[in-house]
Amino acid sequence: MIKDTHEQRGPRWNRLYETATTQEGHFTTAQAAQAGYSPQLLAKYLRNGQIVRVRRGVYRLVHFPPGDNEDLVILWLWSGRIGVFSHETALALHQLSDVLPSKVHLTVPSAWKRRRLHLPTGVALHFSNLSNDDCTWAGSVRVTSARRTVIDCAQAQISPDLLRQAINDGISQGLFTAEMVEAAVDHLQAFGTKDE
């Protein structure tokens, strides 16, 4: 019994690995601490090449296979796993339209407006208190639902052609109905663009 208690206090590689597995090989300093890794032990792993630092407080297991959304996972971890990918980034993740976002769009809680943030390069931050119904998963990261994404894009006034394509793609894939995205359809009609 004493041995088990001692083992639970020390570093637990399996726990750290399991955490990193769900995050495309990445973990935070806080997650490492929860698995029993001190800052000194992380520094040792950095020196011997078992892990690399990808940004302040975020690390990657060197031998973990690269993932499709590693760049997004890093930004999601930067947000403390609170951010939700949204707007044009969510359109791309849902494969709605041919959008090629020039920035990564991330929605964080409205209370974050008061924070002093050092925003990562190439990130557009949006502030909103999203409900669970507004969110889903795309692989290892949270993303706004297809319905919420289309409505957000209409409010952000993305190109009417891309918005029309996203609405049509979402309806044809059964992700939502025209009634569920009525605000976005109305937005298109204000531009004289009709849903096909």
- Answer yes or no: is pLDDT of 4 > 50: no
Rg (CA), the chain: 20
What tokens appear for 19 in the block?
């955490």
Q: What is the pTM of this model?
A: 0.88
Name the percent of the chain in helix, strand, coil, to the closest 5.
45, 15, 35
For residue 1, name the pLDDT band (cuts at 50, 70, 90).
Answer: very low
What tokens appear for 9 in the block?
């206090």
Residue written as token pair 């359809």: 185
Q: What is the mean pLDDT of the chain?
A: 92
Distance, CA of 146 to CA of 168 (rounded, Å): 12
Residue written as token pair 């990918």: 85
The pLDDT of residue 5 is 44
- Answer yes or no: is pLDDT of 100 > 90: yes
Given a contact cutoff of 8 angstroms between Cβ atoms, the answer to whether 187 and 163 are in contact is yes
The pLDDT of residue 115 is 87
For 176, phi then psi, to 5°, come to -165, 170
- Answer yes or no: is pLDDT of 75 > 50: yes
Average pLDDT over residues 87-110: 96
The pLDDT of residue 117 is 81
The pLDDT of residue 8 is 56
Tell me which amino acid residue 99 is: V
Residue written as token pair 């204000």: 190
Average pLDDT over residues 34-44: 95
Q: What is the DSSP letter of 175?
A: S
Q: List 61's β-bridge partners, or say none.
A: 51
- Count CB atoms within 10 A of the CB of residue 75: 21
Pairing of strands 141-144, 123-127: unpaired
Average pLDDT over residues 53-63: 95
- Answer yes or no: is pLDDT of 29 > 70: yes
The pLDDT of residue 193 is 47
Average pLDDT over residues 9-33: 93
What tokens appear for 20 in the block?
């990193």
The pLDDT of residue 9 is 66
Given a contact cutoff of 8 angstroms between Cβ atoms, the answer to whether 134 and 144 are in contact is yes
For residue 196, name the pLDDT band (cuts at 50, 70, 90).
Answer: very low
